[in-house]
Amino acid sequence: MAKNNNKLAHSVAEFAQLSGLGRSFLYEQIKSGELPVRKAGRRTLILHEEGRAWLGKLPLVGRQRTSPSTS
């Protein structure tokens, strides 16, 4: 999400493009209350910093750090 970081807010379509996520998934997250949004008239806006914070809360996947084996 590095480019366009001078914008204060993004539409759902813009945020989908910037994040690489689908609009349907984002709308599900909005409906569930996980992704905070603002309304300006009929427009749904995702504040840049809130979008970044939400992305940072997504679960990590892959190798988990484990302690060395003592066997």
Place of tokens 């349907």: 24
Distance separating alpha carbons of residues 47 and 45, to the nearest angstrom: 6
Q: Which residues contact 11 (CB under 8 A, 6 or more apart)?
A: 43, 44, 45, 46
pLDDT for res 42: 97
Domain-wise residue ranges, the chain:
9-57
Tens digits of residue pLDDT in 6-65? 899 999 999 999 999 999 999 999 999 999 999 999 999 999 999 999 999 999 998 766
Fold of 9-57: Arc Repressor Mutant, subunit A (1.10.10)
pLDDT for res 62: 87
* The overall pTM is greater than 0.85: no
pLDDT for res 6: 87
Q: How do 9-11 and 43-47 pair as beta strands?
A: antiparallel
User: Is 67's pLDDT higher than 80?
Assistant: no
pLDDT for res 65: 65
